[in-house]
Chain A
């Protein structure tokens, strides 16, 4: 029902027996360059504010306010475009196709959040990304997703990212934009299925923290990697962890790691050896298997490209399977214009090899990531405190208020003093 404004003007034939003339369609003027750079400036400012609010001010309220502003600006005002998530595809196509010029503003949207993540963590997710903001603001009764399910679902963004890169770099599809669940809501217009998907995700996000960010967002996967190397990161406590466990359930996004006892002596050596052996085995094996599979997926994806689609339709028709091929405007246009079949097939062959090679590389990288993930799960790093998972923490600042030292820092009156506690001073 919210899709009405998106429908075009020429929806109906002119009324019968009248001299009514249809109004001319018009195309809205493109935003000027200044507007694009203004968006970049707002993005930069928002990133800086998000990092400052979550790391320095440790203010959840501030992050919420920033989320509202970002949602209003990047979401409803800018209608979800340009966005950092979709910019992955522009950059991928720009790298793969020298003839495709990526606007500098789009490059800025792609790189700025990643650069910030490398230094201050995922400030972009905290309060800049409208996708994250709309889910975060809706979270009312967070349910804890079991660790095994959480880990399992966190593979999906990598698969999504690999497919998005494959399709974008071959010039086939921009699936992230095409299947963006929230853009329809920002624009108040979308195909019905996408609108329903967005609504379902929003409903889910009332009970599961940021389902899209955690289990679908391909850009989040990249930010997670960058954030692991960040110099400054959010910590639950501004001081020293006393393992009071008050923060144990504070993170609705499963980004808080409990203490993991360290191994000592021979156990530690054995575990280390096992880890090395496991990595030596599964890294190449996984890369090989998924590389091979990626190549197959690449070849099978050929019809998603317009040239590939035409070639496969031509082939199907020529093989006598015309009856099985649904009527295609592409094929009809090809026949009517008398285009050269040899050229079509030659293009498809080149395209096929690109799909294959790219699919193979992306599959291999996915295999490596999967192997590293398995290794991390089988041999978790030891820690003594409750720590935020730097790859997964979205810097939302929720957990801070659960730490007694944070409350002390904020000046919240405590019934009992913290006297007698050894803070190692």
Chain B
């Protein structure tokens, strides 16, 4: 078989017949082609004009949200009349006018819609005519036999193929890279945040490296990180704090900011951040305020993890659902509420974990605040009767919320916030409840010693001074215990007991070194800290829920009416220096930082300070 490689050997093509003058006659095919081209042109112009009109009509119909619906309902023409009708609801003439206008608008709308509908079909028909005419023109102009197009050399297929391979490889690599960049960071870490179950219902989110570190005692002492300060003593040596203010007149009030949800919890401070909690029966929130401006930096809800069934307990109105104070170590902040919900956040408000520890069975409502030891959150959950065996103390990993240890406590419900002390090189968590004062090793949760000396509703948090742990309750005694024992130290380490008077019910006791102060129903009592001997009592004519504080040697007694009584206590008595009113009732204890006192009222968080202060 011979394959002609020379194009010249291809079959020759029919040539159109020429007339005598050498020009081709105008064939009917050509005439039809011209006519068809004109039809195509007319159809194109028609379609373009119709298309433009339809677009304009469509814009009129569908402008605004809701595809025209909103436009019709809120038509500018109707709005002024509807506004007028609100002022004159019985104006029948106006109603009639609105009816007519509304009908007119609807009529106009549907007319346009009908036109658009018909126009759409007309456009389709125009487009079809255009395409058909164009195709016909093309067909008629086409030579009856193929025209050779042999001037160009055929492309080298092998080269084209190689080029295509390069293009495909490049495109695929680009596609893969682009896809990878889109999906690279997509991971669904189901186990991390809040999944909980009965065995271990705390889970971490992403680990934040800076949260692995924890502050030392010195760093803690510079701030007010827990309830009653870093050491739980409620004592500050800060010297530049104001002693006069008036919340109602904004005197020495640097700022006050409303708090969304109520709470009896107290503010805690780290650097320029103030943390506070608030809750109702259904909602629980943690707030962070800017200490300088008072602006709410963030707030985060604390929700019960799904799968947990935490029922909101019935609590006493004075206790509320946010009585426990938050705790912070400057990296993270933690909050617990009356229903047992507890959560950890970074100080920037990113939630690290949340869990529910079970609704505490507590007559008045859970009020024990959190405290921290290294990277652990110490939680005391005293509940029910002692014999029920439901009370416990836990140390949760601050980064994950997982329990590092849990120790059952043989005590009944209490409202005492534990303190952390170091005595003779031994770190201890001191707790107080009916009937035992118990010390625990914060590393392991093992009980170190216990003293049987408390009864009834124990709410006063302990203090540590003079090498002694001071505890109190309203039904038995104020006691001083040496914290160097082991086992049951009831008979061996209780240095003194004071059982006669001045036994605090709500307010924690305060020890300034030589003296112990307690607040009972408006009366301030003083006792010798080394012997327990009663020194004096002073009637303040006020009622208290907040714990007394000592500010640079002066007592600050914050009454439920929001009046802070400032004075000096000596062995001889109490000398009142002045009173400063907040203007709001309060049950929270104050927090202190350089030049500023933070007080929580029923509605606002106040920053007390002098304008020329630090």
Which of A1-46 touch B at CB < 8 Å? 1-2, 4-5, 7, 11-13, 15-18
Bound-state CA distance A11–B70 (Å) is 10
A-B contact count (CB 8 A): 226
Which of A117-151 touch B at CB < 8 Å? 137-138, 140, 147-151
Separation in Å of the A319 CB from the closest CB of chain B? 5
In the bound complex, residues from chain B placing their C-beta under 8 Å from that of A314 are 306
Max chain B Cβ within 10 angstroms of own Cβ: one of A242, A250, A259: A242
Q: Tell me whether A296 and B183 are in contact (CB under 8 A).
A: yes
In the bound complex, residues from chain B placing their C-beta under 8 Å from that of A296 are 179-180, 183-184, 186
Q: Tell me whether A245 and B154 are in contact (CB under 8 A).
A: yes
Q: Tell me whether A412 and B145 are in contact (CB under 8 A).
A: yes
In the bound complex, residues from chain A placing their C-beta under 8 Å from that of B180 are 293, 296
Indicate if A402 sits at the interface (CB-CB under 8 A).
Answer: yes
Indicate if A213 sits at the interface (CB-CB under 8 A).
Answer: no
Which of B53-83 touch A at CB < 8 Å? 54-55, 57-58, 61, 67-69, 72-73
Q: Tell me whether B205 and A421 are in contact (CB under 8 A).
A: no
Indicate if A194 sits at the interface (CB-CB under 8 A).
Answer: no
Which of B168-222 touch A at CB < 8 Å? 168-172, 175-176, 179-180, 182-184, 186-188, 190, 192-195, 197, 205
Which of B139-187 touch A at CB < 8 Å? 144-146, 148-150, 154-155, 157-158, 160-172, 175-176, 179-180, 182-184, 186-187
Q: Tell me whether B11 and A416 are in contact (CB under 8 A).
A: yes
Bound-state CA distance A68–B171 (Å) is 36
Separation in Å of the B350 CB from the closest CB of chain A? 5
In the bound complex, residues from chain A placing their C-beta under 8 Å from that of B5 are 243
Q: Tell me whether A140 and B194 are in contact (CB under 8 A).
A: no
Q: Tell me whether A297 and B351 are in contact (CB under 8 A).
A: no
Indicate if B49 sits at the interface (CB-CB under 8 A).
Answer: no
Indicate if B135 sits at the interface (CB-CB under 8 A).
Answer: yes
Which of A235-285 touch B at CB < 8 Å? 240, 242-250, 257-261
Indicate if A415 sits at the interface (CB-CB under 8 A).
Answer: yes
Indicate if A333 sits at the interface (CB-CB under 8 A).
Answer: no
Indicate if A221 sits at the interface (CB-CB under 8 A).
Answer: no
In the bound complex, residues from chain A placing their C-beta under 8 Å from that of B349 are 320
In the bound complex, residues from chain A placing their C-beta under 8 Å from that of B154 are 245, 248, 258
Q: Tell me whether B99 and A257 are in contact (CB under 8 A).
A: no
Indicate if B303 sits at the interface (CB-CB under 8 A).
Answer: yes
Q: Tell me whether B11 and A244 are in contact (CB under 8 A).
A: yes
The 7 residue pairs across chains A and B that have the minimum distance between CB atoms = A341-B306, A416-B12, A424-B1, A244-B10, A2-B120, A320-B351, A1-B54
28 contacts between A and B (CB under 8 A): A2-B124, A4-B116, A4-B120, A15-B99, A15-B106, A16-B98, A137-B131, A147-B164, A152-B164, A152-B170, A155-B168, A159-B175, A242-B3, A242-B11, A244-B148, A260-B157, A296-B179, A297-B179, A318-B354, A319-B205, A320-B345, A320-B349, A345-B190, A370-B172, A373-B168, A378-B162, A380-B161, A414-B11
Binding site for A on B (CB under 8 A): 1-5, 7, 9-15, 54-55, 57-58, 61, 67-69, 72-73, 95, 98-99, 102-103, 106, 113, 116-117, 119-121, 123-124, 131, 134-135, 138, 144-146, 148-150, 154-155, 157-158, 160-172, 175-176, 179-180, 182-184, 186-188, 190, 192-195, 197, 205, 300-301, 303, 305-307, 345, 349-351, 354
Binding site for B on A (CB under 8 A): 1-2, 4-5, 7, 11-13, 15-18, 137-138, 140, 147-152, 155, 159, 188, 206, 240, 242-250, 257-261, 289-290, 293, 296-297, 299-300, 302, 311-312, 314-315, 318-320, 322, 340-342, 344-345, 348-349, 352, 370, 373-374, 377-378, 380, 384, 401-404, 407, 412-416, 418, 421-424
